[in-house]
Amino acid sequence: MARSARPTPLKALCTLTDPDLRVYVGDCRTVLPALPECAAGGVDLVFADPPFNWNRAYDRWDDAMPREDYLEFTYAWLDLCHAALRPGGAFWVNIPDDSAAEIVVHLKRRGLEMENWCVWHYRFGQNTTARFINSKVHALYFVKPAGGAPGSRGRTWNPEAVLEPSDRATTYFDPRTLSKNDGMPPGERVPMDVWYGKFWGRIQGNNKERRASHDNQLPEVYLERVVRACTDAGDLVLDPFLGSGTTGLLAHALGRRFIGIEYSEDNARSACERIREGPIRLDALKNVSTAIHPPRKRRAAGSPVPKAEP
């Protein structure tokens, strides 16, 4: 009996070393099952920023599917990414209001545990007079339960890598923040679940981060926060919708291995070029406060400590 032919290994469009990085061109629903690391469930972090089905120009991608077709597509890639994750791995999805609820329900039904429903807030939403202007996208953070899987590392969580100055220290000068006992440095905190502030805006045409011909480009600080918090050096990060390459850019710069998949070859080549060039805002959030109000006058020595905010 003749032996069946082995499937031809996928050829990466571009590769880098130290750490390993590969970018593939194609539909992620086809590419994911053909990648050994994904088939074996060896991915530490999946970050997905899929097409929103808003009839935008994504090269040859159909971004105006009938609703049921789009949901079928969504559930298919979600399931493949879920399978690619190791037990304890993190799954982030960047998605607008249209499909956030459906994705949350689907991933919960698959047994993933929600850690956070974060919101990326920006000030320049698309103008409209028909309703309130959209000024946010949902950043859904799930973890695949480790259970009793042999050799499982459990969830990777590095809060000390993403700390920011606390409002209580920078704005209210509350001395209690200097004596807290939560394991974090005095005056610093883990970021809140609404993300905004300097460098967090939408990447407009005059932004230094802007890549030509890319819609829905995410800011570097967004992916830096996710990669730092949810992976360790040497971990494997997967982005099934590479787009302008922000995930690969930050993963590679921070010493994580990376696999990216992009439907458009032109976009993939542009993303690879950007990754080789490196990020322009790495560590831009260090010691940057996101306080909304200006600092209050310092409390006179010996005056009563202000009451804690509700």
Weakest-pLDDT range from 154-158, 165-169, 229-233:
165-169
Whether residue 302 is predicted with pLDDT greater than 90 in this model: the reply is: no
pTM recorded for the entire structure: 0.90
Q: Per residue in 51-61, pLDDT tens?
A: 998 877 766 77
d(CA 232, CA 216): 27
Q: Per residue in 172-221, pLDDT tens?
A: 888 888 888 888 899 999 999 999 999 998 887 778 888 877 767 899 99
pLDDT of residue 8: 58
d(CA 269, CA 244): 9
Q: Which residue's structure tokens are 């920011």? A: 164
The mean pLDDT value for 138-143 works out to 98
Query: What's CA 291's distance to the chain center, in Å?
Result: 23
Q: What are the structural domains of the chain?
A: 29-150+195-274 (3.40.50.150)
Coil vs helix vs strand at 39? helix
